[in-house]
């Protein structure tokens, strides 16, 4: 437990020291909130779907979380290139604890980023239906962050350069975001192929769970949402741990 705590704390300190990382990661979510929330709002409203900003905000929060989560894998490559990982690997602790500590730390950082985007969305005009349900929504944010941090770590264990990591992550994350129902509703009017793809996308269930808590709207149901998030997060943590145990510092 001590190793997990130390690595978790190290990730938090890195995040707090990197002001450019904190503010740089806010550019894209703010752009999406303004350009889509206000640009497509009248069209969404005329279609009888209500306030588009209300619908969009949980999806943009999810986008901020997954980008921050997955890109935490770059830190593993960085530590590997500059020898910091070797110092950790030679310690008399299990590699599972090392991987778990890094994953929880990265997930905590991504959750902080999601909370910041949530506060920005409040300024933009987003209003949760029940402010007391913000706290379980934050727990959902953490589950999303845990899942995608584990995915980022699993990818990073197989790569040795940051350029390759960025290419693979962009190829993976953008489709995952756009095909999750984050920017379009998963209803009977949506193309069936998109709804089918969304059912196999774990982010769909995370965003749907956030919408359930924040705006009282759900497509899949809370039980299925939480079950998918927990099971997929556990799977990728175990997969990431296995792959991490095979790498050489």
Domain ranges for the chain: 24-246
CA–CA gap between residue 184 and residue 246 (Å, rounded): 40
Taking the CA atoms of residue 86, residue 16, residue 62 and residue 124 in that order, the dihedral angle to the nearest 10 degrees is -160
Taking the CA atoms of residue 205, residue 122, residue 23 and residue 163 in that order, the dihedral angle to the nearest 10 degrees is 20
- Which three-class secondary structure state does DSSP give residue 212? helix
CA 63 and chain centroid, separation: 6
CA–CA gap between residue 52 and residue 41 (Å, rounded): 5
In angstroms and rounded to an integer, the radius of gyration of the C-alpha atoms of the chain is 18
pTM attached to this predicted model: 0.89
Task: Phi first, then psi: give them for residue 180, nearest 5 degrees.
Answer: -105, -5
Which ranges in 71-160 belong to alpha helices (H)?
A: 73-81, 84-89, 95-124, 134-156
23-37, 117-131, 167-181, 190-204: the lowest-pLDDT one? 23-37
Per-residue CA distances from 49 to 38, 113, 186 (Å): 14, 28, 12
Q: How do residues 21-38 score in pLDDT, each as one tens digit? A: 666 667 788 888 887 877
For residue 249, pLDDT beyond 60: no
205-234 CB burial, b ≥16 within 10 A, e <16 = bbbbbbbbbbbeeebbeeeebbebbeebbe
pLDDT of residue 228: 95
pLDDT of residue 19: 58
User: Tokens for 181?
Assistant: 């129902």
pLDDT of residue 208: 94
With a pLDDT cut of 70, the percent of the chain lying above it is 78
CA–CA gap between residue 106 and residue 69 (Å, rounded): 6
User: Tokens for 178?
Assistant: 């756009």
Name the DSSP class of 247: -
pLDDT of residue 21: 62
For residue 95, what are the contacts with CB-CB under 8 A and spacing of at least 6?
A: 89, 241, 244, 245
CA–CA gap between residue 145 and residue 106 (Å, rounded): 8
CA–CA gap between residue 53 and residue 44 (Å, rounded): 9
CA–CA gap between residue 48 and residue 145 (Å, rounded): 32
In the chain, DSSP finds a helix count (H) and a strand count (E) of 13, 0
What is the average pLDDT score of the chain? Answer: 82
Is residue 15 exposed (0-12), middle (13-18) or buried (19+ Cβ within 10 Å)? Answer: buried
């Amino acid at each position: 437990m001590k190793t997990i705590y130390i690595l978790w704390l190290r990730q938090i300190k890195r995040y707090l020291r990197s002001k450019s990382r904190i503010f740089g990661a806010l550019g894209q979510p703010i752009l999406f909130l303004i350009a889509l929330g206000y640009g497509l709002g009248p069209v969404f409203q005329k279609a009888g779907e209500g306030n588009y900003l209300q619908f969009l905000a949980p999806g943009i929060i999810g986008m901020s979380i997954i980008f921050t989560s997955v890109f935490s894998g770059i830190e593993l490559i960085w530590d590997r290139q500059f020898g910091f990982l070797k110092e950790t690997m030679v310690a008399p602790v299990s590699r599972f604890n090392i991987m778990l500590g890094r994953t929880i730390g990265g997930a905590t950082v991504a959750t902080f980023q999601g909370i910041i985007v949530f506060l920005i969305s409040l300024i933009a005009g987003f209003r949760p239906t029940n402010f007391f349900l913000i706290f379980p929504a934050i727990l959902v944010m953490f589950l999303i962050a845990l899942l995608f941090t584990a995915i980022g770590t699993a990818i990073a264990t197989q790569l040795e350069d940051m350029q390759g990591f960025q290419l693979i992550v962009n190829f993976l994350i953008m489709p995952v975001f756009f095909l999750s129902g984050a920017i379009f509703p998963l209803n009977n009017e949506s193309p069936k192929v998109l709804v089918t793809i969304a059912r196999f996308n774990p982010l769909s269930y995370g965003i749907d769970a956030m919408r359930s808590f924040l705006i009282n709207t759900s497509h899949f149901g809370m039980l299925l949402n939480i079950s998918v998030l927990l099971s997929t997060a556990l799977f990728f943590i175990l997969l990431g741990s296995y792959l991490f145990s095979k790498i050489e510092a």
